[in-house]
Copies of this chain bind each other. A is one copy, B any other.
Amino acid sequence: MRVIPESHLDLLTRPLFAHLATIGPDGTPNVNPVWTIWDGEYLRFTTTTDRRKCRNVQQNPNVAVSINDPEKPYRYLEIRGVVERVEPDPSGTFFDVLAKRYGLAYEPPLGDAERRVVIVVKPTRTTQQ
C-alpha cells in the first residue's frame, strides 16, 4: 500500500521545508521547520540529541508533518506517523546528504557531529488538499 498519494509526492521529492510537530513532556505540541528526505518508506530528519524535538520523540514517538507548495500554498500534504528509531550520525554523513539537498554550504566537519542523530519516521496516514 502506498501511504503517500502520488498526487502529492512532489512535495517530498522537492527540497521543501517540512513543519514537524512533536509532543513535549508536558503534553503540549511543538512545531518548527526542518529539512527532510523521503525514501519511499521512511521520512528522515536530522537533529542533535540536545534539541527539544529529539528529546520529545524519544518520550513520545507520535509526530505529524505539514508541507505546502510554495507556488500554490493551498496545496498541502500532512503526514502523521511514528518515530521507529533514532539513529546516531556521528560522522555527520546524513547531515551532509540533507545539506546538499537543501543547498546549504558549510565547512565540514560539523561542530556538533558527536550529537547528530537521524529521526526515522514511518508514515501511518496522510491528509491532503
Contacts and interface: CB of A to CB of B under 8 A. Distances in A.
Contacts of A30: 21, 64, 78, 80
Given A33-B68, A33-B73, A80 B28 contact: yes
A32 B66 contact: yes
Contact of A76 (B29, B33, B65): B33
A30 B76 CA distance: 13
Kindly list the 6 A-B residue pairs having the minimum CB-CB distance in the complex, ordered from nearest: A19-B19, A21-B21, A28-B62, A21-B29, A21-B31, A31-B66
Contact of A64 (B28, B65, B70, B127): B28
Nearest to A63: B29
Contacts of A76: 32-33
A interface: dominant SS: strand
Interface of A: 17, 19, 21-23, 27-33, 62-66, 68, 70, 73-74, 76, 78, 80, 127
Contact of A68 (B17, B22, B65, B80): B17
A127 to B, nearest CB: 7
A21 B68 contact: no
A18 B78 CA distance: 13
